[in-house]
Amino acid sequence: KNQVEQSPQSLIILEGKNCTLQCNYTVSPFSNLRWYKQDTGRGPVSLTIMTFSENTKSNGRYTATLDADTKQSSLHITASQLSDSASYICVVTRRAAGNKLTFGGGTRVLVKP
């Protein structure tokens, strides 16, 4: 079954600290993996996208890694800011008709001053 599992479900960190979010998937055949940031009550916004041959991608203070062999990805947030408080969603696209997206349950991050 094609699934995407994220951990932890929620995370509280102090402003300025770093944190790492995990994503494990069983989606096959794999096309790409994306990390999205979703502010409360808004639609998700893409942070990074990685294909099979890419193992790291950065977007400002966000760095995503991908290990296609173990089917794991991580999102590292450096020097967190209050505006980083949001849900972070891992999305894997299956290389198949319709390019169906499979979403993880998300990790809710709360950055406290």
Partner 1 sequence: SQTIHQWPATLVQPVGSPLSLECTVEGTSNPNLYWYRQAAGRGLQLLFYSVGIGQISSEVPQNLSASRPQDRQFILSSKKLLLSDSGFYLCAWSVESGTEAFFGQGTRLTVV
Contact pattern from residue 55 through residue 94 relative to partner 1, giving x for each residue in contact according to CB under 8 A and a dash for the rest: ----------------------------------x-x-x-
We find the least distance from the C-beta atom of residue 55 to partner 1, in angstroms, to be 17
Cα–Cα distance measured from residue 30 to residue 21, given in angstroms and rounded to the nearest whole number: 20
Nearest to 62, CA basis, from 18, 32, 31:
18
CA triplet 89, 111, 45: central angle to 5 degrees?
A: 30
- CA–chain centroid gap for 99, Å, is 18
We find the least distance from the C-beta atom of residue 79 to partner 1, in angstroms, to be 27
What is the pairing mode between strands 30-38 and 72-77? unpaired
We find the least distance from the C-beta atom of residue 111 to partner 1, in angstroms, to be 18
Contact between 104 and partner 1 per CB under 8 A = yes
Question: Rounded to 5 degrees, what are φ and ψ at 101?
Answer: -95, 135
Peptide bond into 44 cis (omega under 30): no
Stretch 4-63 residues interacting with partner 1 (CB under 8 A): 6, 31-32, 34, 41-46, 49, 51
We find the least distance from the C-beta atom of residue 14 to partner 1, in angstroms, to be 23
Q: Which residues bind partner 1 (CB under 8 A)?
A: 6, 31-32, 34, 41-46, 49, 51, 89, 91, 93, 95, 97-106
